Structure 1
Amino acid sequence: MQDVVVEEERRPAVDESLRQAKAFSVELRKAARKARTPRPIVSGGGGFRARKGDRLFRLFAVGSLVTLFVIPTTLAVLYYSLIASDQYVSEARFSIRSADTSASSPMASLSALFGGGQATDAAIIAEYVKSGAIINQLSDSFNLIELFTTKRWDPIASLEANPTSEDLIKYWKGQVDISVERSSGLTTLRVRAFSPTDSLALTKEILRVAEQMVNRLTRRTEENALREAEAEVQTTKRRLSESIYKLKTMRDSTGILDVSSAAAANTEILTKLRLEKAKLDVQIKSLEDNDSGSAPQLGTLKNQTTAIGQQIRKYEQSIAGASTGSSIASRGAGLAEAETDLKVTQAEYQKSVGVYELARMTLERQRSYILTYVQPSLPQEALYPKRLLIVMAVALGTAVLWAIVIGVAMLARDHMA
């Protein structure tokens, strides 16, 4: 009985102890769950002590900051303040004009409507300036490799030693900037070099070479016309030589230098003989009318008349004898034909020479002009590199990159913990 009373007295104390132990167990479980929950590094980590992963994350953050931001920014500051070479820019602005195209002509309007003419020539020049073809032309006046090599070590801006042709073209495209306004064909050319005088001289030479190139393109038709005219001159010259040789052969075979001259000479002689015969006939008639038939001079006069008559018939037959092939008319027919052929070939030759001279003068005349309305001038100060702007861009870019890397790493850490 006494034991039962004691047990009943102890029961409230036991219940209280059990209640306290249960409450303590709940608190321990809450603390354990809280310790297992990941906490951002900015709040100092979680749990009862800083975990090893938090220390590694801090090292990663510092290392990435140095690698992605501090080192690139420091290198940019050192390069652009101590190493980078000054680059000078010479600028020219120009347009293309044709020597034989009026701006008010209908063809000029059609050319502008369909995007041709000046805008097309300017676009061609822009492509030419950016190509390797102009480098070959400029190499006759400049040593481009030496011109684009800095006197001090500059691994970024300077042309590399012993470059290939592809390397030179790639570098050239970075040093030359040309833009064309499509509607008007106005063109802006900007050339960079490490010396003000080199920049100016190179710009002027580019303009000269580009103008020559445009004229070579526009002369394509004229070159074809000149070749055709030259071929025609050679053809007519050959025909003229053949006609001259044929005429010479005919003269040698006929013994007549000129049909007209020979006929005129024979006609003149024949006329004189007829006059002489007429005088003798008059004298003979006078003697016979005066009953002087036995006069001694009458026989002489008749003999002279007979001889002159024979000479007259001979010359008549030599000029145009119907029964002989040795007359001037017979022999001169082929000769006259040869002379006519010579005159025709001479006229053709003179005409072909005239066409050739016209084609040559047209080819030699300059057809297109580069009208520079902003002349290139000697640069006074270096425009490149933009040191402060580039350093600020590097610093901002690397800072943004580091922030992105850290943000991605924290997001991955929070979800993987």
Structure 2
Amino acid sequence: MRRRHRAIGISFLLVVLLPALVSAAYLWLVAADQYESRFGFSVRKEQTQSAVEILGGITEFSGSSTSDTDFLNKYIRGRQMVQVVDRELDLSSIYQRQGDPVFSLASDASIEDLEAYWSRVVTVFYDSSDGLIEVRVLAFDAASAQSVAQAILAESSRMINELTAIARSDVTRYAKDELDRAVDQLKTARQTLTEFRSTTQIVDPAADIEGRMGILNSLQSALATSLVDLDLLLKNTSPSDPRIIQTRQRIAAIEQRIQDERASFSTSRTKDEIPYSKLVGEYEALHVDLEFAEKNYVAALTGYESALADAQKQSRYLATYVAPTLAETAKYPRRGILLAMIAGFLALGWAIAVLIYYSIRDRR
């Protein structure tokens, strides 16, 4: 029995006490101090109200966006965040320490090793009920811990801004495409009408017809006056009176001009002598196209402005309630807790092994 007790004591010394002493020596003599930097934030949505409220300067800030905080919770832990911060700060230079292989980053660490180490020095505490995220960053000096925390916060803010831009783009993309098509249609309609006017030298066929009718009415009035003058001359003078000849010549000239003006209504004054009725029809068709394009443009512009208002409601921003802190004293590694855990697991494993060994031995 005494021999068994001696064996148990020796095994306890070798399996539990000696490794615990080695661990204690490493923790207090070799392991470097680690400083903590903390920051906290939530993602908020900004919702613009109606036009009346906008004029009054009223803006509503809604609660946190759960989907965005869920995304950031995973994004901060992910490889992309590691790569972004590494490019900015060179994580290897921050976390590599000579003589401390347990708590420092290996000199030949790959991106996978760096990602695994990141989960050890960056801890995310996420309250899904309130949408609050708090991040703890550890480093071997306080300034480095704060720098890493600031880089994480800046990248998180940039990502939220990018998500906001994507959401706004998705909301306004269709309306912007419709507006662009309406603008092109309006430009085409105006250009076509301008080319028509340039080719025909007619600004408005309706106004041109009205002007020609005015000329024709004036000629008709002059013809009537000349006929009356001729009748008076025939009654009061001899047939050989020169004034009768002049009046008849004037009447003939007016009648010819009237015929010419009437003929011009069927044929335009353009070089190609296109029928005037066809020109009027073409102008009316172009004018209708222009009116339709203008109305379509107004509708598309209204839709785009409405889409912009909806996009404004997609605004999100990072609300920081705790800025990255700068530690004055090192809190990590928690040597006492780590040593107690190591000793406890060693003792538990030793006790189980001893019980199993002597249980098997006693059965023989």
Whole-Å separation in 1 of the counterparts to 2:328 and 2:214: 92
Counterpart CA distance in 1 for 2:209 and 2:162 is 58
SS at structure 2 position matched to 1:99: strand
| Counterpart residue number, 2:277 | 329
Report the Cα distance in structure 2 between the residues aligned to 1:265 and 1:320, rounded to whole angstroms.
Answer: 15
> How far 1:337 sits from its partner (Å)?
0.6
Q: What is the rounded CA distance, in whole Å, between the counterparts of 1:196 and 1:87 in structure 2?
A: 8
Map of 2:18 onto structure 1: 71
> How far is the alpha carbon of 1:292 from its aligned partner?
7.9
Q: Is the 8 A contact 2:138 2:145 kept in 1?
A: yes
How far residue 403 of structure 1 moved from its aligned partner, in angstroms, is 4.5
Sequence identity, in percent?
Answer: 25
User: Using CA pairs below 8 Å that are at least 6 residues apart, which structure has the higher relative contact order?
Assistant: 2
2:291 equivalent to 1:343: yes
| Cross-structure match for 1:171 | 117
Q: For 1:273 and 1:158, locate their aligned partners in 2 and report how far apart those are by CA, in whole Å.
A: 108
Q: Which moved more, 1:242-251 or 1:197-206?
A: 242-251
The separation in 2 between residues aligned to 1:365 and 1:357, in whole angstroms, is: 13
SS at match of 1:141: helix
Stretch moving more, 227-236 or 88-97 = 227-236
Instruction: Give the counterpart letter for 1:333 in structure 2.
Output: G
Deviations 1:208-248 (A, max 9, x none): 43344345556655433433234334544554565456546
Change over 3 Å in CA distance of 1:270–1:140 after alignment to 2: farther
What is aligned with 2:88? 141
1:259 and 1:225 map into 2 onto residues whose CA distance is: 45
Residues 341-383 of structure 1, C-alpha deviations (whole Å, 9 max, x = no match): 1332244245435544664676577612222223332222222
- Whether 2:86 is the aligned partner of 1:131: answer no
Letter of the 2:11 partner, please give it. Answer: S
Note the aligned Cα RMSD (angstroms). Answer: 3.9
How far apart, CA to CA, are the structure 2 residues paired with 1:151 and 1:268? 101
Do residues 99 (structure 1) and 17 (structure 2) align?
no
- Once the two structures are superposed, the pairs formed by residues 295-314 of structure 1 within 5 Å of their partners are 295-314=241-260
Q: Secondary structure of the equivalent of 2:177?
A: helix
Q: Work out which of the residue numbers 138, 143, 151 in structure 2 matches 1:205.
A: 151
Is contact 1:320–1:327 with CA below 8 Å preserved after alignment?
yes
Q: Call closer, same or farther: CA 1:237–1:409 in 2, change over 3 Å.
A: same
TM-score, normalised with respect to structure 1: 0.67
Deviation per CA, 1:227-274: give whole Å up to 9, x if none. Answer: 323433454455456545654665576553432443344345445545
TM-score in terms of structure 2 length: 0.75
Shift of 1:119: 3.2
Q: CA deviation at 1:385?
A: 0.8
- Any conservation in 1 of the 2:48–2:313 contact (CA below 8 Å)? no
Structure that is richer in strand per residue: 2
Worse-superposed segment, 257-266 or 182-191: 257-266
The answer on whether the counterparts of 2:34 and 2:333 sit within 8 Å (CA) in structure 1 is yes
1: CA distance between counterparts of 2:309 and 2:103?
47
2:20 and 2:339 in contact (8 A); partners too: yes
**Does the aligned pair in 2 maintain the 1:226–1:356 contact within 8 Å?**
yes
**Would you say 1:383 and 2:307 are equivalent positions?**
no
1:184 and 2:130 correspond: yes
Amino acid at match of 1:131: G
Separation in 2, partners of 1:203, 1:292: 121
Q: Which residue of 2 aligns with 1:80?
A: 27
Aligned counterpart for 1:119 among listed residues 28, 52, 66 = 66
Change (3 A) 1:403 1:348: same
Q: Bigger radius of gyration, 1 or 2?
A: 1
Q: 1:328 to 1:372 in 2, by over 3 A?
A: same
Aligned partner of residue 177 in structure 1, secondary structure: strand
Aligned length: 347
| Counterpart in the other structure of 2:205 | 259
- Cα deviation for residue 413 of structure 1 reads 5.1
**Paired AA for residue 130 in structure 1:** R
Structure 2: segments with no counterpart, 5+ residues: 50-61, 268-272
2:36 to 77, 89, 93: 89
What is the Cα deviation at residue 80 of structure 1? 1.8
Residue of structure 1 equivalent to 2:103: 157
Q: Residue 368 of structure 1 corresponds to which residue in structure 2?
A: 316
